[in-house]
Amino acid sequence: MSSITNGAVVVAAPRAPAVRGRLSDLPIAGAKRVLLAAPRGYCAGVDRAVIAVEKALENYGAPVYVRKQIVHNVHVVSELERGGAIFVDDVAEVPEGAHVVFSAHGVSPAVVSAAAARGLQAIDATCPLVTKVHREATRFAKQDLDILLIGHVGHEEVEGTMGHAPERTTLVTSPDDVAGLEVRDPDNLVWISQTTLSVDETMETVRRLRERFPNLQDPPSDDICYATQNRQVAIKKVAPQADLVIVVGSANSSNSVRLVEVALEHGAKAAHRVDYASEIQQSWLDGVQTVGVTSGASVPEVLVREVLDDLADAGYRDIEEVKTAEEDLMFSLPKELRRDASGQTDSRALGGRTRT
């Protein structure tokens, strides 16, 4: 897989998937078990974005260009690349007139304009929940409010959101940033957030902001996406019972990294993030009776199953699913992709794939 930047992270080629029999079933005191968090894995926005690239390849043929990673998962990007997708950092790298897909994390108006100037046939796979935040930023700027955007420096979603109101938006990266903030008018502020943050840390940031700026306004609804919140709630229930938590997800996946942090904050004795089962180390399992397993919102279930297979080789065959919510939300595909190459309405147009 080609190396492309995604914010501050350069994504390298993925490792090989797990090889069975690599981990040993060593004796411990007590019975071994796995607590499998649910919900986990693909959310509706990720499913929509991945299908968008697959559909574009079906309808228009390879290559189809994608600005940045379509979602933050090295396996997904590698699979799409094998199918004919070409991932680029900038629309300037896309041949004039070609098809280009904007990633689930969204883009600024400047990127849209740059694509139009090159005559690119753009397909916007931005998650609708990210688009909601973009619209909030635009609306608040028109209302002459200054915007405090809670998020991570260099994340594509943050860059896209700031691009909708650049003169009005100040980035707040953590609760510790609040004390040093300088604002134009402390009585004319509203906060919004990146969709994939830790719920607890975001609320702590808001609490400190409100202490400094008592007239701070709230967005009309919570910006942190339902999937991010649901996965964090599930791992919070698993963590107190787990000697070890394994989170399947990539290093540049904000919501996956947050799951590791949430697990540790809520009682897990240890927690590690892996892209593939092959990264699980035998030493992590020393003396471990209960392993919690979850995955970030851009992770296909096949990668979780490989982790469970490896854990079964190590004796962790008793699997209990810990379910805290049901998810049935699906998003329509971008309008350009709701029909197949023959012009017929595609069966996936108004929803995603079956998530099994």
What DSSP letter does each residue of 84-146 carry, written as one string? TEEEESSGGGSPTT-EEEE-TT---HHHHHHHHHTT-EEEE---HHHHHHHHHHHHHHHTT-E
φ/ψ of residue 239, rounded to 5: -55, -45
Taking residue 38's Cβ as centre, other Cβ atoms within 10 Å add up to: 17
pTM (two decimals): 0.91
Would you give the DSSP letter of residue 320? E
Q: Can you give the pLDDT of all 356 residues of the chain as single tens digits?
A: 444 444 333 444 555 555 778 999 999 999 999 999 999 999 999 999 999 999 999 999 999 999 999 999 999 999 999 999 999 999 999 999 999 999 999 999 999 999 999 999 999 999 999 999 999 999 999 999 999 999 999 999 999 999 999 999 999 999 999 999 999 999 999 999 999 999 999 999 999 999 999 999 999 988 899 999 999 999 999 999 999 999 999 999 999 999 999 999 999 999 999 999 999 999 999 999 999 999 999 999 999 999 999 999 999 999 999 999 999 899 999 999 988 767 777 766 665 654 43
Distance CA 115, CA 122 (A): 7
DSSP string, 262-276: HHHHTT-S-EEEESS
- At 261 the pLDDT is 96
The catalytic site residues sit at 157
Query: Residue 9 phi/psi, 5° resolution?
Result: -105, 135
- Beta carbons of 327 and 339 less than 8 angstroms apart: no
Cα distance between residue 107 and residue 158, in whole Å:
9
Strands 121-124 and 85-88: unpaired
Nearest-angstrom CA–CA distance, 284 and 25: 13
Q: Which amino acid is it at 117?
A: A
Write down the pLDDT at residue 78.
97
pLDDT of residue 352: 60
In the chain, how many H helices and how many E strands? 9, 14
Report the distance separating Cα 34 and Cα 37, nearest Å. Answer: 9
Give residue 350's pLDDT. 60
**Ordered DSSP codes for 6-73:** ETTEE--PPPPPP-TT-S-----SS--EEEEEES-S--HHHHHHHHHHHHHHHHH-S-EEEES-SSS-
**Rg (the chain; Cα; Å):** 21
β-bridge partners, 339: 345
